[in-house]
Structure 1
Amino acid sequence: MPDVLDPLLTRYASWLAMPTEATADTSDEDPDEVVLMPMVLRIERGTPPGRTALLEAAASAALAVCLDERAEPGGEWHEQLHRWTSGRIRKVSRRARGAHWAAVQDLPGRTVEVDGAEVRAFLPSRVADMPKELTRLQISGSELDADEPGPPRPDAPVLWLNPHVPMSAGKSAAQVGHATMFLAALLHGEGRADEVARWSAAGLPCSVRTADPATWARLLPGDDAETAWRRDGVAAVRDAGFTEVDPGTVTVLGQWR
């Protein structure tokens, strides 16, 4: 497994231990120097995808980039990915259809399809360096109707969305992408790289579901991330509050099963 996810291990527990209202200080940040992983959601006008399937594709695509053989040490993607995961793992979701979707397929990244829903995650880059094929795509307008996906599949991790915090499909796509990365990093850190390899070989399947309040309360790690992981196989995604949600909000609980 590529080592690009290793930097997440040293920061994961400290993120959860920060004060709830804490957020990153970006007052001196040059917007053009921000490094992001772009994710493009395919949303055709007449045939939009199912919301759950699209989020599941997004979760798998983000991790697929990190586990790609080109992310291995010495690979052409390794340096950019390692630099990104050593800082703030920001993602931005954009939407595309038709010719604009076709135009981004040649850019470095991985496309995942789930039940007809397609998402492509790209190699992270500075905002100033992003190609026009990506920057011309809209960030807003990615909302999709809620669906009823049924019980989670038993042979894949579950990514539980916070039932108390509404998020757009674009925001949710980025958050579930964080969750799969944390799960893979924690497994690898415990010497369970074989489990990650099997997951990858199967196509990185996952189930995205909105938790009911009781499940959310039971699985929420609080300030004891280590116990939550060892007892329930749960990794939490805590948002910095740049968009849509308040700083410190736990948006997703990834549960390895």
Structure 2
Amino acid sequence: MDARDEAPQYVLPMVVRLEKVEPPGFTDALETAARAVLMILAAERSTGEGVWAEAMEAWQDARIRKVVRRARGGEWRKATELPGITVTGATAEVRVYPPIPLDGWPKELLKLQVSGTSLEDPEPPSEPDLTEPVLWLNPELEMSAGKAMAQCGHAAQLAWFDLSDEARKLWRESDFVLSVRTPSAAHWATLLASGLPVVQDAGFTEIDPGSYTVIADHPVLRG
């Protein structure tokens, strides 16, 4: 058994605001989710003697799970009343919460829908700025928006783990600027061979175990 499976299992809850009118764009939702994960990793409450530090450590000692649920209207208002951090993108709002045990969901979040979230981009995303971090989605995998948001959060976290304190500081000062894009199959193959951090999914939902989902392409980490 993997040592990570022997530790108590925690999950990082995330909620995306999904109103019937003017839902968020797909790419913006992915980028906002990734930034939300970075925000909670860097928060004072998550480190040292912070109120979330113990839960964050327990979560990172086991498998680093994230679950994205969706809310609208009154559900969203109730979700924002729980301790957490709300991150806003161009069209998306995502709230991230400190880790909880797998069976410890608060009632305000437990009733929210988790599967089948579908989003679209109003127009094709622009070319990414390669002087800034880019999270590359596997072009050969199909994932729901919620699954893709969690995977982008994983990739951002892997990049964060690999950065120096100074590089983390600079990224934090930029408000965690990043983009999410889908490369061509050829570019994806090149990225896989680059040694950059890559998310390999455990296969709990939607896709096969061991699937490569997102590559974290941070300028500091490029060879």
Which secondary structure state, in structure 1, belongs to the residue aligned with residue 103 of structure 2? Answer: helix
Greater fraction of residues in helix: 1
The answer to whether the 8 A contact 2:201-2:209 is kept is yes
Which secondary structure state, in structure 2, belongs to the residue aligned with residue 128 of structure 1? Answer: coil
Is structure 2 residue 178 aligned with structure 1 residue 203? no
The answer to whether the 8 A contact 2:19-2:72 is kept is yes
Which secondary structure state, in structure 1, belongs to the residue aligned with residue 172 of structure 2? Answer: helix
The answer to whether the 8 A contact 2:56-2:99 is kept is yes
Which secondary structure state, in structure 2, belongs to the residue aligned with residue 137 of structure 1? Answer: coil
Which of 39, 42, 60 is 2:14 aligned to?
A: 39
The answer to whether the 8 A contact 2:26-2:119 is kept is yes
| Aligned-pair Cα RMSD in Å | 2.0
How big is the shift at 1:34?
3.9
1:194-252 per-residue CA deviation (whole Å, 9 max, x = no partner) reads 1111111221111000111111000104xxxxxx34xxxx2100001111111100000
Q: What amino acid sits opposite 2:187 in the alignment?
A: T
| Pairs aligned (count) | 217
Could you tell me which residue of structure 1 aligns to residue 217 of structure 2? 255
Q: What amino acid sits opposite 2:162 in the alignment?
A: L
Q: Equivalences for 1:233-252 in 2 at 5 Å? A: 234-252=196-214
Is structure 2 residue 115 aligned with structure 1 residue 143? no
After superposition, the Cα gap between the structure-2 partners of 1:155 and 1:109, relative to the gap in structure 1 and judged at 3 Å, is farther
Which of 161, 180, 183 is 2:137 aligned to?
A: 161
TM-score by length of 2: 0.91
Specify every segment of 5 or more residues in structure 1 that has no aligned partner in the other structure, as ranges. 1-22, 222-227
After superposition, the Cα gap between the structure-2 partners of 1:109 and 1:155, relative to the gap in structure 1 and judged at 3 Å, is farther
Is structure 2 residue 190 aligned with structure 1 residue 218? yes
How big is the shift at 1:47?
1.0
Which secondary structure state, in structure 1, belongs to the residue aligned with residue 210 of structure 2? Answer: coil
Q: Give the percent of matched residue pairs that are identical in Structure 1 and Structure 2.
A: 44
Runs of 4+ in 1 over 3 A off after TM superposition: 23-26
Distance 2:188 2:130 in 1: 18
Could you tell me which residue of structure 1 aligns to residue 23 of structure 2? 48
Which secondary structure state, in structure 2, belongs to the residue aligned with residue 145 of structure 1? Answer: coil
Is structure 2 residue 31 aligned with structure 1 residue 69? no
TM-score by length of 1: 0.80
Distance 2:77 2:119 in 1: 21
Higher mean C-alpha deviation, range 137-146 or range 174-183: 137-146
Distance 1:208 1:106 in 2: 29
Q: Equivalences for 1:111-150 in 2 at 5 Å? A: 111-146=86-121, 147-150=123-126
Distance 1:25 1:65 in 2: 25
1:58-87 per-residue CA deviation (whole Å, 9 max, x = no partner) reads 001012111101112111111100110011
Higher mean C-alpha deviation, range 114-123 or range 33-42: 33-42
After superposition, the Cα gap between the structure-2 partners of 1:118 and 1:24, relative to the gap in structure 1 and judged at 3 Å, is farther
After superposition, the Cα gap between the structure-2 partners of 1:153 and 1:67, relative to the gap in structure 1 and judged at 3 Å, is same
How big is the shift at 1:114?
1.1
After superposition, the Cα gap between the structure-2 partners of 1:24 and 1:49, relative to the gap in structure 1 and judged at 3 Å, is farther
Is structure 2 residue 53 aligned with structure 1 residue 78? yes
Distance 2:131 2:89 in 1: 16
Which secondary structure state, in structure 1, belongs to the residue aligned with residue 180 of structure 2? Answer: strand
Distance 2:153 2:24 in 1: 18
